[in-house]
Structure 1
Amino acid sequence: MPMPTEERVSRLVAGLVAGRGFDLEGVEVSTAAGQTRVRVIVDSDRSADLDSIAELSAQVSACLDDADDEFEAARYLLEVTTPGIDRPLTAPRHWRRARGRKAEITLKPGVEPPEPGLPTRFTARIGVLDDDRIALVLSGKPGPRLASVDLADIARAVVEVEFSPPNARELELAGGVAAGRPPAGVDAAEPTGTAVAASDSTEGTME
């Protein structure tokens, strides 16, 4: 039996997710062992705790159930989750929320690094976003210092999981961790997608 498409699920839940103060970061639909799994990925500026994710999950489930007549028969398992710590940064809001985190940054071909001698792929702590330019805290000799790069000049950036507390001076220059986000360091080393809640009925029908 056909699966619901990611595009269709996105259209159905986008308004609901936005109305609850979340950004819809993506929808993934997969099938294994005859079971269809619908994964809705959301994020927000505030802390997305398990209670708020569970509440949103119930609402998303009801929304999909109300759309029964728009799908071919398909049994599904719904999962609502937040992105993992190490997800790529692809939008300005991702950079804003990742302030205080360390990231591996790759510049586009032909772009000059923000500091002489720096390679086009380097690690830096994310600072304050000013319009479309991001402040970065570089480490190593001669010590932590600020630089900046246009977002348009970045080919790829991925937040790194840190297993120890960050350098205090680096964090100060970065402006601290964004409000509502978990602290950098040991507490940030959580498995991907820990804030997860399945729908109230683990199997539903979309038609």
Structure 2
Amino acid sequence: MSTTQSERLRSLLEPLVSSQGLDLEEIEVASVGRKRVLRVVVDSDTGADLDQVADVSRALSAKLDETDAMGEGEYDLEVGTPGAERALTEHRHYVRAEGRLVKFQLADESELVARILTVDDEGLDLEVPGVKGRKPTARRIAFDGIAKARVQVEFNRKNKNDEENAEEA
């Protein structure tokens, strides 16, 4: 998708997404066979449920139908939320990932897997898991020291409610 089309679509769609209480995270136009697909990714600090995604999808579809933003020809509109292993690219993404395990590719080309404890304007406070029974260690990383970051899927991690219920028992 050309930068001009991307910018035009973003300026057209972002106000509609924002009016639904969501953030427009990503726009992608892809060719799938003879059709084009417009993929729109939305999110919020509390996540987006299916009803919100359906509402924003209807609003975006109506707006696109009344404009020529997608040009002539058929296309499919897909509206969804970021995947489980989403890339962290904006400050708000790091805030939303507090408590999550993240794989960092650092500016010095090293890698680090750590849990985000807190986020401020300058960087992150992390908990680096201990290896072979050792205790976790604290670490601070500035945003300019991060080349890439991606949330990791954890299948066996207890959530906060499970931990609180265990403490009360």
What TM-score results when the alignment is normalised by the length of structure 1?
Answer: 0.69
Task: Tell me the amino acid that sits aligned with residue 107 of structure 1.
Answer: L
Is 72-81 or 90-99 further displaced after alignment?
A: 72-81
Which residue matches 1:15? 15
Per-residue CA deviations over 1:182-202 (Å, capped at 9, x if unaligned) read: x9xxxxxxxxxxxxxxxxxxx
Sequence identity, in percent? 38
Unaligned runs of 5+ in 2: 163-169
* Correspondence 1:128 to 2:127: no
* Correspondence 1:140 to 2:130: yes
The residue matched to 2:140 in structure 1 has which SS? Answer: strand
Q: Higher relative contact order by CA 8 Å / sep ≥ 6: 1 or 2?
A: 1
What TM-score results when the alignment is normalised by the length of structure 2?
Answer: 0.84
How many positions carry a matched residue from both structures?
157
Correspondences of 1:30-49 after superposition (within 5 Å): 30-49=30-49
Task: Tell me the amino acid that sits aligned with residue 42 of structure 1.
Answer: V
The residue matched to 1:74 in structure 2 has which SS? Answer: coil
* Pair 71,128 (structure 1): closer, same or farther in 2 beyond 3 Å: closer
8 A contact 2:105–2:112 mirrored in 1: yes
The residue matched to 1:105 in structure 2 has which SS? Answer: strand
Larger helix proportion of the pair: 2
Which residue matches 2:150? 158
8 A contact 1:92–1:132 mirrored in 2: no
Give the Cα–Cα distance (whole angstroms) in 2 for the partners of residues 165 and 137 of structure 1: 15
Task: Tell me the amino acid that sits aligned with residue 140 of structure 2.
Answer: S
Runs of 4+ deviating beyond 4 Å:
none
Give the Cα–Cα distance (whole angstroms) in 2 for the partners of residues 143 and 122 of structure 1: 16
8 A contact 1:5–1:29 mirrored in 2: no
Residue 8 of structure 1: CA displacement? 2.5
Unaligned runs of 5+ in 1: 111-119, 178-182, 184-207
